[in-house]
Structure 1
Amino acid sequence: MVTWSKIAPARRELLESLVAEYAHHYAKGRTTLAVDGPDGAGKTRFADDLAVAFDRAGYTVFRASVDDFHHPREHRYRFGRYSSDGYYRDAFDYSLLRRVLLEPFRMGGSTGFQLRGFDLERDTPVESAWVTGPADAILIVDGVFLNRFELRGAWNFSIWLDADPKVRLARMVERDGADPDPKAESNRRYADAQRLYVRDAHPNTAASAIVDNTDADAPVRRFADYCSVKPAPR
């Protein structure tokens, strides 16, 4: 569990500004916040730190990740292990995400919701673990493709988190043991899928806030014309 004192001062300042902006619009009720962005942008850590910032401000926060709502391997790879189109269109089960988490969370009351739906490592659905929360609570979800058509309207607020492509790849090499060659087939799968996403969903303009997380200790708020993932060629 991350502690506030271990977060760099410039990062804390940005997180607090996002909390203040969010609270100005969504002080009460059940609300949802997405931390979207390409692979290697630092979404999970940023979402975790943001949850700490909200907790310090007195909010009840729940955390989830789209990585816990994958389709089974057979479905994910039906167009090939390295298909970028397959990754973009088949990796995640958005129907499951809506059905067991987003929709019941928004209903409030005693309705239970499920923060995980699929065990990626075991390639099997997780055993249902339904939780409840108070009337006023924030759900923060991190992951790729969170502003695509299937999830439009699901978020009260979304953050497009990006970083320099070389920095993103270096993080993936360190975190996942990815091939350091950006032209490797395994890396092109992710990069080309993001280009499809940017072309289709324009996440940099759909997002409520854009953050350049190239320097994780000093992330910078950007404007709507900023997006380092260029559209896929036609």
Structure 2
Amino acid sequence: MRLPVTPAATLWRALRDEARRTYPRGRVMIAVDGEDGAGKTRFADNLAAVFREDGSAVFRASMDDFHRPRAERYARGRTSPEGFYRDSYDEATFRRVLIDPFRSGATPDAGFQLAAFDLVRDEPRPAEWVTAPRDAVLIVDGMFLHRPELRGIWHWSIWLDAPLDVRYARMAERDGTDPDPAAESNRRYREGQELYLKDARPRAAASVIVDNTDPAAPSRVYQDFC
């Protein structure tokens, strides 16, 4: 089923075609990264939809399903920005049960897991193994996907930009949080993401930068990093 022709769908298809020119076959792994509230999940869902239009076998995953247990996430303190950046996600499990078996594609019946942790219940999910054909696309959304420990795994990646006030307004509507970025309740997350920007320079690492201020009309950003 094809998505309607809209400014957003036109961009999604252009990004799909660009990725396909470089990676026409095999197992392809794509990251959709960005700060909280940038619109990563919806963007990744729509990117997956346009990949399916060309007959691709597409699989979706989110880093939100690879959190660490609460005790580990808050080991540095409940309000620690460094703890948010360094301890939120279980990269070892993410690589072991999803990335490594998907990437290998040694045999079509080799299984991988698209989710491993239930954040609400604060416990591992029961293992559900899925398989893919030799030619398949995995699209992962989430924060910190260009951190040094993960940067080298992606064939292609997107960084989503949106202004600070727009992102915090979205999170307030979505999660009931304070829309003021400077609020003390937001400090852990705001400063944790600032650590990420400084440590990983994700805009420079991404294959593509997209301004997602208006999700109905996202636009490609061309940036000179020299």
Question: Structure 1 residues 205, 224: closer, same or farther in 2, change over 3 A?
Answer: farther
TM-score of the two chains, using structure 1 as the length reference: 0.92
Of stretches 138-147 and 194-203 in structure 1, the one that deviates more from structure 2 is: 194-203
**Which residue is 2:156 aligned to?**
157
Distance in 1 between residues matched to 2:213 and 2:90, nearest whole Å: 29
Give, in whole Å, the separation in 2 of the partners of 1:180 and 1:81: 20
By how many angstroms is 1:225 displaced?
4.7
| 2:118 aligned residue | 119
Q: Describe the superposition over 1:73-122 as per-residue Cα deviations: whole angstroms up to 9, x where unpaired.
A: 00001122221110000000000000000000011112100000100000
State the secondary structure of the residue aligned to 2:41: helix
Aligned partner (choices 42, 51, 60) of residue 54 of structure 1:
51
Unaligned runs of 5+ in 1: 227-234
Is 2:164–2:181's contact at 8 Å kept on the other side of the alignment? no
CA distance in 1, matches of 2:177, 2:147: 26
Match of 1:74 among 43, 47, 71: 71
Does the 8 A contact of 1:82 with 1:185 survive in 2?
Answer: no
Cα distance 1:92–1:3, how it changes in 2: closer, same or farther (>3 A)? farther
Please identify runs of 4+ aligned residues in structure 1 that moved more than 4 A: none
Paired residue type of 1:66: M
TM-score (normalizing by structure 2): 0.95
Q: How far 1:170 moved relative to its partner?
A: 0.6
Residue type of the partner of 1:213?
N
Letter paired with 1:23 = R
Inter-partner Cα distance in structure 2 for 1:99 and 1:26: 23
3-state SS, counterpart of residue 215 of structure 2 = coil
Give the unaligned 5+ runs of structure 2: none
CA distance in 1, matches of 2:126, 2:90: 16
Match of 1:32 in 2: 29
Query: What's the secondary structure of 1:160's corresponding residue?
Result: strand
Q: What residue in structure 2 maps to residue 194 of structure 1?
A: 193
How many positions carry a matched residue from both structures? 223
SS at match of 1:82: coil
